[in-house]
Amino acid sequence: MNSLPHSAGLGAHAVTILRVADNQWHAIENDLVVGRGHASRRLDGRTFLSIDTWRDAVFDRLAAAMLADQPAARYTVVDETDHDLIASWERSGFVTWRRESEYVVPTSLPTTAAPAGVVIATADAVAEAPLRDLDRAIRAEVESAVGWQTMPAEVLPWQGGTRPLDPSKYTVAGRHDRYVGLVRVATMTRRPRIGLVAVLAAEQRHGIARALLSQVLGGLHRSGFEAATAEVDETNTAALALFEGLGARRTGGSLELIHRSGKA
């Protein structure tokens, strides 16, 4: 357990920053916890920080201690409307890395037929081997273009290993003997969440993504869900146009901030 006493600007009693676990910090004043910090390592190897305190000076001390103990780049996610929290992270040297819009997508939509020669498969009909081939191909295309860091954290690759795939969470589009597009849906939430929509570059602009979403949303509607949610990077104009064309309604957004090593 490491400690860092500091009293300037924090009131009558000295505040001590304690690292109480590998990923947890406490700010202690007069034997009371006046702030908490937490570092969460995600599957892609990136570490996200969070701080819970109502005092700016305590926030700043916790952030400084956490960053000193975490030399690599660090991230945090903040609601776009929480201007005070954004300002607190910016005081600590964080800058905006990406912006994401949140949408609610209605499921009661007219069915969109798949393009000629394209077959849509779901759940038990999805085979893992061609799904993994498509996953690798899409990753390579995205990485060479906008960079995979623009994708949601849940679909980023595991650090040092291969990310496991669960075919039951995917709806895929196939042409001839291979898959060319996919949609990933998470249903273990209050509303189903569309986590990923992707089509190979050579197959784009033919309506495959819209047909995939039509299949997914129709299935959710038949299961009793009136809407699904989706998060879209604000630089992804094609995805924004796709969801807005389906009648999706923007309900909010978030900022992903980054602190790079050596910029404290």
- Which CB contacts under 8 angstroms, 24+ apart, belong to 143-149? 146/235, 146/236, 149/97, 149/98
Q: Containing domain of residue 216, as a range?
A: 103-253
Report the distance separating Cα 85 and Cα 63, nearest Å.
12
What's the pLDDT score for residue 226?
A: 95
Number of folded domains that form the chain: 2
Please check whether residues 86 and 122 belong to one and the same domain: no
Please check whether residues 144 and 216 belong to one and the same domain: yes
Please check whether residues 36 and 84 belong to one and the same domain: yes
Q: Is residue 196 part of a domain?
A: yes
Model confidence over 58-82: pLDDT tens digits? 999 999 999 998 778 999 999 999 9
Q: Is residue 258 part of a domain?
A: no
Model confidence over 14-44: pLDDT tens digits? 899 999 999 999 999 999 999 999 999 886 7
Q: Is residue 171 part of a domain?
A: yes
Q: Is residue 260 part of a domain?
A: no
Bin 122: left if φ > 0, else alpha if -120 < ψ < 50, else beta: beta
Please check whether residues 108 and 233 belong to one and the same domain: yes
What's the pLDDT score for residue 71?
A: 75
Please check whether residues 150 and 131 belong to one and the same domain: yes
Model confidence over 52-62: pLDDT tens digits? 999 999 999 99
Among residues 100, 134, 153, the one where a domain terminates is: 100
Q: Is residue 263 part of a domain?
A: no
Top pLDDT among 184 and 158 is at 184
Among residues 84, 100, 116, the one where a domain terminates is: 100
What's the pLDDT score for residue 164?
A: 62
Q: Is residue 220 part of a domain?
A: yes
Please check whether residues 135 and 215 belong to one and the same domain: yes
Please check whether residues 152 and 92 belong to one and the same domain: no
Please check whether residues 123 and 222 belong to one and the same domain: yes
Please check whether residues 187 and 74 belong to one and the same domain: no
Please check whether residues 48 and 117 belong to one and the same domain: no
Please check whether residues 84 and 109 belong to one and the same domain: no
Across 104-110, average pLDDT: 94
Please check whether residues 148 and 243 belong to one and the same domain: yes
Q: Is residue 262 part of a domain?
A: no
pTM of the model: 0.78
What is the CATH number for 31? 3.40.630.30
